[in-house]
Amino acid sequence: LGSRGILDILERLNAGEVVVGDGGMVLQLERRGYVKAGHWTPEAAVQHPEAVRQLHREFLRAGADVLQTFTFYCSEDKLELSGNVTDITGTQINEAACDLAREVADEGSALVAGCVSQTPCYLENHNEAEVKSLFKKQMDEFLKKDIDFFIAEFFRYAEEAAWAVEVLKTSGKTVGATMCISPHGDMSGLPPGDCAVRLVKAGADIVGVNCHLDPTACIQTVKLMREGLERAGLKAHLMIQPLGCHTPECNLTGYISLPEYPFALECRSLTRWDVHKYAREAYEAGIRYIGGCCGFEAYHIRAISEELRAERGFLPPASEKHGLWGAALEMHTKPWVRARARREYWENLLPASGRPRCPSMAKPADE
């Protein structure tokens, strides 16, 4: 048991438990008016703590076992480059984000993950010492707040992700690492299996993918990572937190190449029933840390929790306001709506877009 009397992340995963992650913070807060698109920096942790706190609380209520600190793109070089934060330091943001995540996590039995992400510095000069110094600064700030474990997320290059893992591992805490890559591999062409091997050799305890592509593509990528680890004789727990939008075009750079990015993605949103299917497929693929990234809202996390309720042994508080597989519709006054109060209906539904002249798929900008 950890210092707060709950199992830590590795104890849960080693015991075969399903760990439900949280959903997307940056995109949801942008839609709610607290994050500026393009910059995507997390100063709202200082400027609007009530908004960050509420979103954490919704994910916790939906069944999340882990709350990630709202520290995406919070390296000093990114904050400076964005020009969006002139009177708030990275330290202030990191510390405030840790406090908010901890406050809400302690309302349940959730863990807090301190998160670092890719840096502009890496693409600018590939200076290992400089990049690692940025990660170390964030790590030291997180350690002052006694987070439970670390996640290095949203990396497009295995090299930079491995550097992050190497730094975070010096803390002595568990480290997870997720890359925003497709089944084609990272942006240097390194296959997913080799990316996973590099991350585990750097010290990662948990590896997988997050963001950029939909559940179908992400599950395929994690399977390739698992195969690479097996070939190398290495072991690690598997983690997945995909995009909450359909991206069947499955282009190398992900949803940022779609013409709808970032202000018209709603037409591609996953339904809760899509998430039920995703959660089951991820579980059957041997993935035990299952969550979501950009586009995943609280009801999507609830869908993961409900789909895996037998494996977890309980339902989340948010399920008190949701009839499983539409069961609450049995009370509807319209007979054709009452007929939808069954699993078979929702599992076989093919949702229409309602947009007469819209194509089913788009031509990505990078093709």
Q: Which residues fall in the annotated binding site for Zn(2+)? A: 211, 293-294
What is the C-alpha end-to-end distance of the chain, expressed in Å? 50
CA 310 centroid distance within chain: 23
Amino acid symbol at 281 = E
Amino acid symbol at 274 = D
**What's the token pair of residue 54?**
């509420």
Contact 226, 188 (CB under 8 A): no
**What's the token pair of residue 223?**
């399977």
**What's the token pair of residue 29?**
């807060």
**Rounded Cα–Cα distance for residues 31 and 35 (Å):** 8
**Rounded Cα–Cα distance for residues 151 and 204 (Å):** 9
| DSSP one-letter string for 151-185 | EEEEES-HHHHHHHHHHHHTTTS-EEEEE--BTTB
**Rounded Cα–Cα distance for residues 107 and 123 (Å):** 40
Sign of CA dihedral 214, 220, 225, 230: positive
Residues 6+ apart with CB under 8 A from 105: 56, 60, 67, 111, 112
Q: List, as residue ranges, the binding site.
A: 211, 293-294
**Rounded Cα–Cα distance for residues 181 and 195 (Å):** 10
**What's the token pair of residue 316?**
């989340």
In the chain, DSSP assigns E strands to 19-20, 66-68, 111-117, 149-155, 175-179, 206-210, 237-241, 289-290
Residue with tokens 């929790």, as numbered in its chain: 305
* Ramachandran angles phi, psi of 2, nearest 5°: -75, -175
